[in-house]
Copies of this chain bind each other. A is one copy, B any other.
Amino acid sequence: MIEEIPASQLDTARFIAEQVAAIREAVGEGTAINALSGGVDSSVVTMLGHLALGDRLRTVIIDNGLMRDGELERTVALFGALGVPVELIPAQEAFFAALKGVRDPEAKREAITQTFYRDVFGRIVRESGAQVLLQGTILTDVDETVAGIKRQHNVFAQLGIDPEATFGYRILEPLIRLRKDGVRLVGEALGLPAEVFNRMPFPGPALAARVIGEVTPERIAIVRRATAVVERLLAGCGAFQYLAILHEDHVTGMREGRRAFGQQIEVRCWDSVDAREATPTELPWATLRRLADQILAEVPEVVSVTYNLAPKPPSTIEAV
């Protein structure tokens, strides 16, 4: 049982000092490594590790081919401006090879986890000689994994898996007692820009979580373009999270006066405090119409656009 630190009781300065000390103690005279995704959790861990270890921390960002348009480049530039060097590792082929033919959502998550920890990042960690891996697991990840709702990619000890035996390195999780609201406060206290500490949640499997059925470079390209439209049009709408999902079902449509059997994009936009419960945002009709028009104009493979109406539960935030 992990003891939660609620955001309301969090002393960020003290929390940062304690975690920096804990990282220094765990790493000793050695080195640590971490993988940054650009999300708030891994960004905060990167800053904590940087404060604790300076250049004895190596931070990599893995290009798994599943990220949104331009986001890896923006993250590298942003941390560069903060004086934190981040290494961009191209690994698209390994991930698409592992995902080929995989359709079940849990099998997709597992393929990504295995490719990440055992193949791509695992190899980098082993070759780096680092003794410690810093990781941004938060308490909600643990809860949902233990409850069997969703398999998070970064929870091992709670499932009885020994990462040192399985993967060859020790994992340190400085944020394990926090929920997302607490992590955001620590991020702000660490001097991260608001676009990072207030960043919208984005799933570990990235755009692979936004594709129902098989994940291929072509299908990721479609959902990436739809995602860019949704994020552009809904930026500043105040919602907790918004996303585009590419369905596997094809539906009848018309293009240039002829019958066309095309694809469907589902838009979800959520009001929520902490993702445990959520309701669809009651977007104005002008916005809903613009979402459909822009997706249909910019993604010609698509002939149908829908908006999610179901709350969580019984829905979940993501579809995969």
Contacts and interface: CB of A to CB of B under 8 A. Distances in A.
Contact of A251 (B148, B212, B251): B212
A289 interface: yes
Interface string A277-320: 00010100100110110001000000111111111111110111
A204 interface: no
A248 interface: yes
B148 A258 contact: yes
Contacts of A315: 251, 253-254, 303-304
B303 A306 contact: no
Nearest to A144: B259
A110 to B, nearest CB: 14
Contacts of A296: 310, 314
A206 interface: no
A236 interface: no
A150 interface: yes
A230 to B, nearest CB: 12
A19 to B, nearest CB: 31
B309 A291 contact: yes
A229 to B, nearest CB: 12
Given A251-B319, A252-B319, A258-B147, A308 B310 contact: no
A286 to B, nearest CB: 9
29 contacts: A147-B258, A148-B258, A148-B259, A149-B254, A212-B249, A212-B250, A247-B247, A251-B316, A251-B319, A252-B316, A253-B310, A253-B313, A253-B314, A254-B313, A254-B314, A254-B316, A255-B313, A260-B314, A266-B306, A267-B309, A280-B292, A289-B309, A291-B309, A303-B315, A304-B315, A304-B319, A305-B310, A306-B307, A306-B308
Interface of A: 105, 147-150, 212-213, 247-255, 257-262, 266-267, 280, 282, 285, 288-289, 291-292, 296, 303-316, 318-320
Given A288-B309, A306-B308, 14 more contacts: A147-B258, A212-B249, A212-B250, A248-B248, A251-B319, A251-B320, A253-B316, A254-B312, A254-B315, A266-B306, A280-B292, A289-B309, A291-B309, A296-B314
